[in-house]
Structures are given as structure tokens and as C-alpha cells.
Amino acid sequence: MNLPLTPDSAASDSGAPVCSAKGCRADAVWVLAWNNPKLHTPQRRKTWLACEEHREHLSQFLGVRGFLKDVVVLGEWEAPAEG
């Protein structure tokens, strides 16, 4: 797995990645890959992590803005090579 964690990404006490939803400390299960076309090249993928409970909410938030590109199970995520 090649998961670039952003400075906003957090890890649980066990070192497992946690959900990106505000205030959530649950283990992440999903990777939501997105980009803002006004700021990023089409190939660029930013990531948010989501637990089961917040996957739909975070997906909708990104989807309404046209930012959501893919939703993948954390264990299957391979970040696209940049450059």
C-alpha cells in the first residue's frame, strides 16, 4: 500500500490511520481520492480517509463540489505516481 498521509492525517495509538471527519478517532477503512480542478492538475490526487460511519458523508461533501474522483478500500489503495 502506498498511502501518502497529509499533515492533517492522524494515526490511532496503534499507528493505524484514522478517519478524516472532524472529531472522529475511528480507524479508517476507506480512501477518498479527490482534487480541486481550480488548484490541482488533473492527475493530482489528494486523499481523505474515512471510517464506515463517515464514508458517505465525506463522499457527498466532495461529490457536490465535483472534487471526488474515487473511493477505495484502504488496504487496496495505491497512490498514482506523480511526475
As a whole number of angstroms, the distance between CA 6 and CA 48 comes to 9
- Whether residue 66 is contained in a domain is answered as yes
| From 7-11, 39-43, 68-72, the region with the lowest mean pLDDT | 7-11
Whether 45 maps to a domain, the answer reads yes
Mind listing the pLDDT tens digit for each residue in 12-69? 666 789 999 999 999 999 999 999 999 999 999 999 999 999 999 999 999 999 999 9
Query: Does a structural domain hold residue 83?
Result: no
- Residue 7 forms part of a structural domain: yes
Domain, as residue range, for 58? 1-77
Q: What is the pTM of this model?
A: 0.79
Collect contacts of 8-13 with beta carbons under 8 A, ≥24 apart.
Answer: 9/49
> Domain for residue 82, yes or no?
no
Q: Is residue 32 part of a domain?
A: yes
pLDDT greater than 80 at residue 76: yes
Distance CA 21, CA 29 (A): 12
Give how many domains the chain has, as a whole number.
1
pLDDT value, residue 2: 38
